[in-house]
Amino acid sequence: MNLQKIAITAFSSISPLGNNAEEVWKNYLNNQHCFTKQFLDQQDTSVAALSADSEQLVTAVRESDSKYKFLDDSVLFALTASRKAVEKAGWNKEDIFGINIGSSRGATDLFEKHYKEYIDTGKAQTLASPTTTLGNISSWIAHDLQSAGPEISHSITCSTALHALLNGVAWLRSGMADKFLVGGSEAPLTDFTIAQMRALKIYSRIDQNEEAWPNLAFDFEKTQNTMILGEGAAVCCLEAGEKDNAIAYVTGVGYATEILEHNISISAEADCFQKSMKMALQQTSPEEVDVIVMHAPGTIKGDLTELRAVEKVFGTQIPLLTTNKWKIGHTFGASGILSLELALLMLEHDTFINVPFGVVQEQTKPLRKILINAVGFGGNAVSVLIEKA
């Protein structure tokens, strides 16, 4: 089956790494994480929050329209990234393009504030519902960009953003659209969210010996879970066919779901990842893949089971392996699209980014094809193969 090429014509993000490609790449080249300490859940907690200059950009977006002052950060992050991406791609108001930007938890901070006010007073604010419904992310972006195409929001836990990309690819290949803006946004740094992760016993302890590197994603011999939460958003512009301004092409997509044993289970060899990677590689020999950007959230089981899946699919010809969770933490629904950002930057600069845990891997050839993985609670795995333009 000869599938139509899907061009990535622009990409934009806002995250703990910064808000422009040059700054993000510079931060990837240094061996420092982006974690800070905040007093959350009644104790010191490591988180990866936006930088001060990125916060200023979000504030500027909030102040650009009187209606935006009531919006959650998850929406404002997505608005900030979307404006820049559409400008980079050269899209305008006459262009008809679809929008699919999702979030795992949606309006986390705003929802918790509204609910607390209701518990305290017995009354809900007028805008409590419209500003916390999941669909308001894509709806507000459509309003802001004055787009005329379909607008879609969804939540598929931590693989949300790559599911948005899958959906955009499907629309484009079906001929129902020529352009699609896809991505994910997450603003989960709240007391209640941190408490939930602690209850699952997967959050990094602030008093651990490896405090300087509190997320040990990619350390496959760690003896405790070390997940850290981060915040941010990223979007990319997709267009059908070959384009002169393409920065990369989506050449394979795959997806699969685990058969659950319990709510957050994943099999010992991550069957869902094996299936999603094999599907993404239908038209590509595994030997052609230069790098895999792994999901690797920093938990013992999550990291190791994905590695086992990679070993099953690639055998002795394992590509270079990397992840960004050690640097920016786990951004839930936005994590997959931020992993795509790392892949795009590595292709652009023809430079592999190592993780400071484990054996140093040496790049021995130019980077041409990179596979990106994401998975969420419930074993919803997605794999996306991109190729240098």
Determine phi and psi for 115, rounding to 5 degrees.
-70, -40
User: What domain range includes position 97?
Assistant: 6-388
> With 90 as the cut, is the pLDDT of residue 258 above it?
no
Mean local confidence (pLDDT), 20-41: 92
Q: Whole-prediction pTM value?
A: 0.95
The answer to the question of residue 212 being in a domain is yes
> Among 22, 23, 11, 24, which residue's Cα sits nearest to residue 324?
24
Question: pLDDT value at position 43?
Answer: 82
Q: Does residue 1 belong to any structural domain of this protein?
A: no
Q: In what order do the strands lie in the sheet with 6-14?
A: 151-152, 98-102, 179-186, 232-240, 6-14, 248-257, 380-388, 369-374, 291-293, 320-322
> Which pLDDT band, with edges at 50, 70 and 90, does 1 fall under?
very low
Assigned domain for 165 exists: yes
In a domain, 95, yes or no: yes
Alpha helices in the chain (DSSP H): 21-29, 52-63, 73-89, 108-121, 128-132, 136-145, 160-174, 191-199, 271-280, 300-314, 325-328, 335-349
Q: What is the pLDDT of residues 168-222, one digit of tens each?
A: 999 999 999 999 999 999 999 999 999 999 999 999 987 655 556 789 999 999 9
- Taking only the tens place, the pLDDT of each residue in 116-147 is 999 999 999 999 999 999 888 999 999 999 99
Number of structural domains in the chain: 1
State the pLDDT confidence band at 262, using cuts at 50, 70 and 90: very low
What are 305-355's pLDDT values in tens digits? 999 999 999 999 999 999 999 999 999 999 999 999 999 999 999 999 999
Q: How far is Cα 173 from Cα 178, in angstroms, rounded to an integer?
A: 9
**Residue entry with tokens 């650009």:** 64
Q: For residue 275, tell me if it sits in a domain.
A: yes
3-state SS of the chain: helix, strand, coil percent to 5?
40, 20, 40
* pLDDT of the residue at 261: 56
Domain of 170, CATH number, reads 3.40.47.10
Tens of pLDDT, residue by residue over 151-174, are: 999 999 999 999 999 999 999 999
Confidence at 376, pLDDT banded by 50, 70, 90:
confident
